[in-house]
Structure 1
Amino acid sequence: MQKPLDALDWRILDCLQKDGSATAAQVAEKVGLSQSPCWRRIQRLEQEEVITRRVALLNRKAIGLNVLIFSHVKLEAHSGDLLDDFRERIRRIPEVQECFVLMGQVDFLLRIVTRDIEAYEALFFEKLSKLPGVREINSMIAVSTVKETTELPLPGVAA
């Protein structure tokens, strides 16, 4: 059973979501704790899957992924096998960064990155439109980014 998070846990999480490469010593110094108890708390947060992983965030444009597309996908039916097959196949397409199941007029929302419009067109015709049960795909290209963050709002942590 997961232990309730206290004020120190929230501060540790805040530090780590801002800099996942921070050492336990660096986090401990920022939150006012000694290194060993801080390290133990971080370990507990990882074991309880409050912290699911630590990664390097890449600038997609710096590596040539210049186009960001959001696609609404509507399936022909909602049978269990069809949904499972769609989910499994969409997980294997590296350009699809995120896939959300929606309630409402569309079934899925995809966040896709590609090199350029031509690369998206190829992805659309070679993979997306051939996914099982796909009835309709409506795509929108993001022109610019107003806000993009991986930091979650944490209770008890001042902005």
Structure 2
Amino acid sequence: MPEPLDAYELRILAILQVDSSRSNADIAREIGLSEAPCWRRIQRLKRDGFIRAQVSLLDRKMVGLNAQVFALVKLNQVGRSNLSEFSETIRQFPEVMDCHVLMGSVDFMLRIVAKDIEAYERFFFEKLSQLPGIQDINSMVALSEIKSTTELPLVP
């Protein structure tokens, strides 16, 4: 179990999740630490898994992925007994950005991106609906995006 986060570490995480390209010196100056202790804290946060990766967030529409679809997937009894098989297969589809196991009337919620609705239709008929154990898929097309963030609400 990792050590609990202190106020400095929470501030470091808050800064890095907004802009992970900031230098150690810049972060140290902002939070009021010298560079060496700041660097050690960042290394600990990486080592302990608080920081999973440092990536560039792309604008999906700028790269031609104009359709965003949420699919609610319900498995039949046989499918539920093979949740790990379904999960492993879903991980292989690059169109699936997020996959969550749900409690309630459906088993999974997927967020899928595609070039357009026709591309999603091909994905749906050629890949998603072909998976064994699926009872029902309810697809909902997102018309617009009101809020999308990767920033967790950290409170120091």
* TM value normalised by structure 2: 0.96
Aligned residue for 1:63, secondary structure, equals coil
CA contact 1:85–1:132 (8 Å) conserved in 2: no
1:36 partnered with 2:36: yes
Deviation per CA, 1:39-96, whole angstroms, max 9, x where unpaired? 10000001110111110000000000001100000001221xx111100000000000
Question: RMSD of aligned C-alpha atoms?
Answer: 0.8
Aligned to 1:71: 71
Q: Which moved more, 1:104-113 or 1:131-140?
A: 131-140
Q: Which moved more, 1:96-105 or 1:30-39?
A: 30-39
Q: State the alpha-carbon separation in 2 of the partners of residues 64 and 84 from structure 1.
A: 32
Deviation per CA, 1:91-148, whole angstroms, max 9, x where unpaired? 0000000000000000000000000000000000000001121111000000001100
Aligned residue for 2:62, secondary structure, equals helix
Determine what percentage of the aligned residue pairs are the same residue.
57
Aligned residue for 2:44, secondary structure, equals helix
CA contact 1:96–1:112 (8 Å) conserved in 2: yes
Aligned to 1:45: 45
Letter in 2 for 1:98: D
Q: State the alpha-carbon separation in 2 of the partners of residues 84 and 128 from structure 1.
A: 16
Q: State the alpha-carbon separation in 1 of the partners of residues 114 and 30 from structure 2.
A: 38
Q: State the alpha-carbon separation in 1 of the partners of residues 141 and 110 from structure 2.
A: 12
* TM value normalised by structure 1: 0.95
Aligned residue for 2:27, secondary structure, equals helix
Aligned to 2:119: 119
Aligned to 2:109: 109
Aligned to 1:155: 155
Aligned to 1:140: 140
**Unaligned 5+ runs, structure 2:** none
Letter in 1 for 2:28: A
Aligned residue for 1:62, secondary structure, equals coil
Q: State the alpha-carbon separation in 2 of the partners of residues 21 and 101 from structure 1.
A: 33
CA contact 1:95–1:113 (8 Å) conserved in 2: yes
Q: State the alpha-carbon separation in 2 of the partners of residues 85 and 123 from structure 1.
A: 19
Q: State the alpha-carbon separation in 1 of the partners of residues 29 and 61 from structure 2.
A: 34
Q: State the alpha-carbon separation in 2 of the partners of residues 137 and 115 from structure 1.
A: 20
Task: Could you list the structure 1 runs, at least 4 aligned residues long, displaced by more than 2 angstroms after superposition.
Answer: none
Number of residues of Structure 1 aligned to a counterpart in Structure 2: 154
Aligned to 1:84: 84
Q: Which moved more, 1:60-69 or 1:27-36?
A: 27-36
